[in-house]
Amino acid sequence: MVTLMSVENEVVKVELEINISGSMLDAEETLQKALNEAGIVVTREMLKRFDTDGSPILTGGIRWTAKGTVEKLYQTPYGATLVARHVYQTYEGGKTFCPLDQAARIVVSSTPRFAKIVSHKVADSPTTVVQRDLEENHGRHVSRGFVHDVAEAVGAIAQAKEETWHYDTPEMACPIACVAISMDGAIMRMRDDGWREAMTGTVALYDVTGKRQHTIYLGAAPEYGKASFKERMEREIAHVKRLYPEATYVGIADGALSNWRFLEAHTDCQIIDFWHVTQYLGTVAQAVFPDCEAERVQWLDARCHVLKHEPGAAQRILTEMEQFAERTLAKAAKEDLDSAITYFRNHHHQMHYEAYRRQKLPIGSGVTEAACKTLIKHRLCASGMKWLETGARMVLSLRALVLTKDRWNQFWSKIDRYGISVA
């Protein structure tokens, strides 16, 4: 049982009477219900603080007058609470305006704290899973539509403020010597367009020993031309370059030409992903030594080692592959070998791995490869999933904020400060 004792000078006093009989689990669940009831009572009083007294107000040079109080059911982390608040309208009629909703940063019908909880969960899981989680673990029964609407509103804020809200990079405990910029795509299924490529971008900060200290993640729904994704990447790169103008900027990617055109414009040197190159060497080994596993493994291990540790190795391996091409090979093997030769011819100038390692530069795009899985695949590519563009953009915006250290809380601090008119 929860009793509101007093509300004075913005201090709320409540009294709880809790029966702790039964098993520990029973007692804990009884306690949680009582705390939720107390949360509802206190939140109701908190919301009332943000209402007006009904006097006329000026907003944007327009006079609004109160129509009276209208009750609204607000969703909170503890439960739903009904609050009568003033609703305003101009003398011309038309749309109404609720000062409480604006001042308290209400998202749809949710308090900001509950909206933060719900949208964080939607960033990780489908709305049906979030709905069950809220009921089972938080004692909050809400509709799936509510979960979707809140997450969509928060995602809309994130997207609308991408150009104007800038997020601080955490202060590093050690100097940043290298910044690795990488981008890659992952295929996802769209409801209207079939299979399309969503994009992931990373900006990773490394210290003088080559240890990664921080990573900024970006995700973008499928987009023809990828113009908006590249604009967002450029804003992040410009921000980091202002912070670390003396760092070495490295572009890391696989062989996609569109990626290299972008990275070359923003980095001091470009490195082809080492592990991607070893996959080509694996196909060469299979093509040249199809019937002898021991010889195939020996050749592959030796070439991977020299490529990583010896200067000029890429050119020597290319020469060796060109000599292999003079042999009589099966058609499929010949095609695989020719593909690897073309790849090395196009990119051997980006394969100076011995020098890169000596300079403590990263040689793999594993951070971005992992981001493709974490940011896109794990959330957007479950069995049977099909996405509309708006939904995909919403989820990727939320996930990128959640995955980048400190950004989620910075995002909500800005909502708390500036408001959420977009919602």
207 lies in which domain range? 178-273+364-405
**pLDDT for the residue 49:** 94
Q: Do 266 and 378 belong to one domain?
A: yes
**pLDDT for the residue 312:** 94
Q: Do 235 and 203 belong to one domain?
A: yes
Report the helix count and the strand count for the chain, using DSSP H and E.
16, 11
Residues 410-423 have pLDDT tens digits of: 999 999 998 876 44
**pLDDT for the residue 1:** 84
| Total domain count, the chain | 3
Residue 76 within any structural domain of the chain: no
Q: Do 242 and 293 belong to one domain?
A: no
Query: 336, 354, 372 — which closes off a domain?
Result: 354
**CB-count exposure of residue 321 (10 Å: 0-12, 13-18, 19+):** buried
Q: Do 246 and 380 belong to one domain?
A: yes
**pLDDT for the residue 259:** 85
Residue 18 within any structural domain of the chain: no
List of the chain residues with pLDDT < 70: 255, 421-423
CA 293, chain centre distance (Å): 42
Q: Do 287 and 420 belong to one domain?
A: no
Q: Do 378 and 423 belong to one domain?
A: no
Residue 66 within any structural domain of the chain: no
Residue 173 within any structural domain of the chain: no
- Alpha carbons 161 and 359: distance in angstroms, whole number: 38
Residue 92 within any structural domain of the chain: no
Q: Do 238 and 120 belong to one domain?
A: no
Instruction: Return phi, psi of residue 20, to 5°.
Output: -105, 25
Q: Do 297 and 186 belong to one domain?
A: no
Q: Do 182 and 207 belong to one domain?
A: yes
Q: Do 190 and 244 belong to one domain?
A: yes
Q: Do 294 and 151 belong to one domain?
A: no
**pLDDT for the residue 4:** 87
Q: Do 330 and 193 belong to one domain?
A: no
**pLDDT for the residue 151:** 96
From start to end of 56-104, where are the E strands? 57-59, 62-75, 80-90, 93-97
